[in-house]
């Protein structure tokens, strides 16, 4: 039987103790994280999570020998430079914190583009020189304009999943374009005998809130139209019923405390319309009192456009005054 170093036994025991003492265990990938940034990330997690790096074989042993059911599935997500994370927070919160701690990083030759890398059009800030040829060589459309090198159109320089070449990586850095992110990649997390992978842990919060709002509105609409009473739909159903009852009473000309004023206003308006038509046919068809009412109504109708025109003129005058004041300030301060 081969001899096993004592420190390896102690390492596996420590890992097993951490696994058993924390409800959530995560498997992370620390590939390509510079040491200073990794140290800062460790400090940011202090008090909320513990990050533990070890040999893959030792982590494999600890996970497979753990008393927790199904935690060994995390071994399948041991990629790159693996590390275990131990915490009491739920996996979704852990994932959000780790994603939020990521920082932009320059492109590296040989790295795989996680998304399309686009070089935007615009002034590069570079003076004419060899860089123009270097840009054109890697497929970035550029020309000299007003003494500066300008990129003429947005250009996808590396497609998602493609390898970033050395020339492209160097040029992206010179253009201050940092397409990569440096941070702890949580590949999977274990809680209550369930392993959640990163695609499940990612939640689009804006879309989720929007979906909940949409579902709430649709549920309320359904309950109102199906006349299902609950604490939310009852006031809406009562309000809708009151509106429909008022509309029915109004159209059926049933006098109530709610419809009387509306019906009188409608009758008055209809009376004026009939009187106006009769007066147009025969001026003697209406008495003096009714003629005065028609005249007053016509005057009010004519006065309204005049008032609106006056308001527009006043607004234009105010704008002119503001422009004059601005011009005066401009002249004062040169």
What would the pLDDT profile of 57-112 be if each residue is shown by its tens digit? 999 999 999 999 999 999 999 999 999 999 999 999 999 999 988 888 888 888 88
What residues contact 185, with CB distance under 8 A and at least 6 apart?
Answer: 28, 29, 30, 31, 80, 98, 198
Say if 319 falls within a structural domain.
no
> Do 133 and 231 lie in a common domain?
no
Query: Kindly report the CA angle at 69 between 11 and 51, in degrees rounded to 5?
Result: 40
Say if 77 falls within a structural domain.
yes
Say if 329 falls within a structural domain.
no
> Do 83 and 189 lie in a common domain?
yes
Which residue has 């527009």 as its token pair? 312
> Do 97 and 11 lie in a common domain?
yes
Q: How many CB atoms lie within 10 A of CB 327?
A: 10
Question: Would you state the pLDDT for residue 330?
Answer: 43
Strand ranges, E, within 184-248: 185-191, 194-197
For the chain, what is the domain count? Answer: 3
> Do 165 and 225 lie in a common domain?
no
Say if 167 falls within a structural domain.
yes
> Do 157 and 45 lie in a common domain?
no
CATH number at residue 173: 3.90.105.20
Among the candidates 257, 279, 301, a domain finishes at 279
Range of the domain at 168: 117-180
Question: Would you state the pLDDT for residue 328?
Answer: 43
Question: Would you state the pLDDT for residue 134?
Answer: 92
Please tell me the distance from the alpha carbon of residue 126 to that of residue 146, in angstroms, as a whole number.
11
Say if 221 falls within a structural domain.
yes
Beta carbons of 77 and 186 less than 8 angstroms apart: no
Please tell me the distance from the alpha carbon of residue 294 to that of residue 279, in angstroms, as a whole number.
9
Task: Output the six-digit token pair for 235.
Answer: 């006031």
Strand partners, 24: 87, 191
Among the candidates 279, 295, 326, a domain finishes at 279
**pLDDT < 50 positions in the chain:** 1, 325-334
Among the candidates 232, 255, 279, a domain finishes at 279
Note the pTM of the prediction, 2 decimals: 0.60
> Do 138 and 268 lie in a common domain?
no
Say if 304 falls within a structural domain.
no
Please tell me the distance from the alpha carbon of residue 146 to that of residue 240, in angstroms, as a whole number.
66
Say if 307 falls within a structural domain.
no
Closest CA to 99 of 209, 184, 226: 184
> Do 146 and 195 lie in a common domain?
no
> Do 174 and 189 lie in a common domain?
no
Question: Would you state the pLDDT for residue 1?
Answer: 42
């Amino acid at each position: 039987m081969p001899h096993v170093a004592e420190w390896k036994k102690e390492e596996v025991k420590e890992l097993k103790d951490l696994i058993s003492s924390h409800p959530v265990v995560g498997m992370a990938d620390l590939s390509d994280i510079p040491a200073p940034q990794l140290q800062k990330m460790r400090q940011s997690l202090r008090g909320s999570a513990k990050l533990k790096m070890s040999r893959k074989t030792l982590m494999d042993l600890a996970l497979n020998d753990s008393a927790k059911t199904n935690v060994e599935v995390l071994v399948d997500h041991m990629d790159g430079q693996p590390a275990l994370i131990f915490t009491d927070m739920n996996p979704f919160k852990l994932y959000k914190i780790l994603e939020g701690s990521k920082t932009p990083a320059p492109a590296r030759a040989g790295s795989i583009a996680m998304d399309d890398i686009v070089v935007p059009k615009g002034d590069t800030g570079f003076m004419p020189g060899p860089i123009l040829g270097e840009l054109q060589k890697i497929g970035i459309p550029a020309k000299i304009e007003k003494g500066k090198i300008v990129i003429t159109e947005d250009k996808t320089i590396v497609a998602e999943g493609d390898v970033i070449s050395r020339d492209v990586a160097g040029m992206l850095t010179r253009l201050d374009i940092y397409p990569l992110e440096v941070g702890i990649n949580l590949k999977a997390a274990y809680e209550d005998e369930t392993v959640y992978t990163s695609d499940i842990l990612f939640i689009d919060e804006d879309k989720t809130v929007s979906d909940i709002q949409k579902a709430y509105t649709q549920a309320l609409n359904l309950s109102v139209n199906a006349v299902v009473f609950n604490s939310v739909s009852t006031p809406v159903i009562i309000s809708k019923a009151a509106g429909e009852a008022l509309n029915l009473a109004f159209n059926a000309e049933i006098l109530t405390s709610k419809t009387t004023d509306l019906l009188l206003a409608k009758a008055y308006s209809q009376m004026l319309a009939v009187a106006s038509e009769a007066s147009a046919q025969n001026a003697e068809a209406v008495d003096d009192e009714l003629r005065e009412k028609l005249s007053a109504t016509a005057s009010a109708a004519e006065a309204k456009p005049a008032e609106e025109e006056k308001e527009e003129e006043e607004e234009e005058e105010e704008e002119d005054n503001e422009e004059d004041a601005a011009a005066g300030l401009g002249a004062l301060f040169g």
